[in-house]
Structure 1
Amino acid sequence: MIRSLAALGLVALLAACNRGDPQPQAEPGAKRIECALGPGSTFSPACLVEKTEGEQGPEFVVRHPDGSFRRLRIAPDRSGMMAISGAADAVNELVGNPKVLQVTVGDDRYRFPADLDAGK
């Protein structure tokens, strides 16, 4: 019994150490977009996008409901979005009616409206 409690306490301690600080919420004025996060997920308007100025031009920070985020940039030839950081490349396609840009990075998918790059 004591071993079980000690093991449970150790697991809880390790989980707390790995939790890290949650990401701050999006800035006021962030736009809500549809996203499907993880394999087999369906789209919902659960992500927020902020447009910021990066070293190579405008960047978009997509904030997930769990506090994680992904950084993207418009490709130099304006053919779609590209992932700024991370190991996975962004795959772009036009979907729906009216057409929206669907960007897939790893197991996550995002749908960006045509006017996302307009203004700040």
Structure 2
Amino acid sequence: MRPLIFCSVALALSACGSAADEQTAEADPLIEAETEARAELAESGMVYCAVNGAASFRPDCRIERTRSSDGLILTLRHPDGGFRRLLVTGDGRGLVAADGAEPAVVNPVSEREIEVAIAFDRYRLPATVR
């Protein structure tokens, strides 16, 4: 496991940081193509999600970006009407749950994508992790 330090966030979600054991292995073309497709989908307002404990990800959640006095808020809306709100932070954490009792757990999937888990809901979001 590589420890990550996020240092900034922009657009939908973009973070830079450093890994303790940085690797420069060439990316798998299929993974790169899937990641690019999900990033384009997010630009159109949709993201892949697995909500309510679902095993597989589907492009079913809508993402909304709003500015508040606390910063950029991402609202992830589920097909069943539920939603989660995330606050984009500038303190190195990347994202945190904006409300509710459940914490957001952020894990890198690749150098261009992260997975955010809150309770039984998971989301794939575009991000740049360096």
Does the alignment reach a TM-score above 0.5? yes
How far did 1:99 drift? 3.3
Letter of the 1:61 partner, please give it: T
TM-score by length of 1: 0.64
Q: CA RMSD in A?
A: 1.9
The answer to whether the 8 Å contact 2:71/2:89 transfers is no
- Deviation string 1:89-110 (CA, Å, 9 cap, x unpaired) is 00001014x5311100001001
How far did 1:77 drift? 1.9
Give the aligned partner of residue 81 of structure 1. Answer: 95
The answer to whether the 8 Å contact 2:114/2:127 transfers is yes
Aligned residue-pair number: 86
Q: Distance in 2 between matches of 1:40 and 1:72?
A: 20
- Deviation string 1:35-94 (CA, Å, 9 cap, x unpaired) is 000224310110010100112111011110011111101123243211011111000010
Which has the higher Rg, Structure 1 or Structure 2?
1
5+ residue gaps in structure 2? 1-42
TM-score by length of 2: 0.59
5+ residue gaps in structure 1? 1-28, 116-120
Q: Distance in 2 between matches of 1:40 and 1:61?
A: 19
Alignment of 1:20-59 (within 5 A): 31-59=45-73
Letter of the 1:99 partner, please give it: R
Give the aligned partner of residue 105 of structure 1. Answer: 118
